[in-house]
Amino acid sequence: MNTDAAGPAGGGQAELISDATIEDFEAKVLRASMDRPVLVDFWADWCGPCKQLMPALETAVREAGGKVALVKVNADQNQTLCAQLRVQSLPTVMAFFRGQPIDGFQGAVPASHLKAFIDRLLDMVQQMGGGAAPDDPLAAALEQAAALLENGETDQAEALYAKIAEVAPDTGVAHVALAELALARGDIAGVEARLEALPPEALDDKDIAARAGRIRTALSVQAEGNADADFAALAARIEADPNDHDAHFDLALGYQGRGDLAAAAEALLASIMRDRDWQDGKAREQLLKLFDAAGPTDPFTLKYRRRLSSLLFS
């Protein structure tokens, strides 16, 4: 086993580079990451890119001067651990801090990328308040997950929210965030499972209740959509008669079924532009449903609400 000794930023002695299995992963990674970030390199003997990455990664960790540690996990010998952490390709590197994954990458990358990755990781740690464990680890973990989501690191955010929901199943924010992520990738069963897992008292929080309501509206919108619509035939009908409001509406439902809310909104606006009162404002009401599904501050809602207002009040 290749190891180096170095002291973490918070003091004490710990191995800078070591190997781990599922049996000692908690000690070498989760607990050790309370003091400094720990990189976990998932590799295998048969993996050529793994053999290319590992020496460069070890060098980058040593050059960081003890600010980060490296733990190597043989994926073939620890398949259960890899499944738990959703490791899907090799090599995979995950960065843990305060017991949670906060960043990562896949594949062999050049030394410059490794240095930039570690620098970014250390900046993130500094923004999170350094190496000391927080008084409220649950709140800190939720802040980390929200930050990851805001930065577009959806896989890492989802893994962290899932861990929070597992450790603290009464945490409504984690369940509703996981439901939103499942909805974004079209995993309807996952959405419903997370909504069912929401503890009733969590809905006393107005923000959680509003988010859960938007998710349910989005499910309703998608359910009433028709992904099997004959788009070519509907387009031909509209070209032959631009005032064929039924065709506009059916086209919108077709786009809804595909999850393309922008295209659905365009079809509804085309109908509203020609007759805003068609069937007692049916197209307008459908567009408002799309706004409810996306949420009041979503860029889609802001854009198409402005477009709707300009039509209604011009």
Name the residues annotated as catalytic: 47, 50
Give CA–CA dist 91/109, Å, rounded.
10
Which amino acid type is present at position 131?
Answer: G
At what angle are helices 137-150 and 154-167 packed, to 10 degrees?
160
The owner of tokens 């009733």 is 200
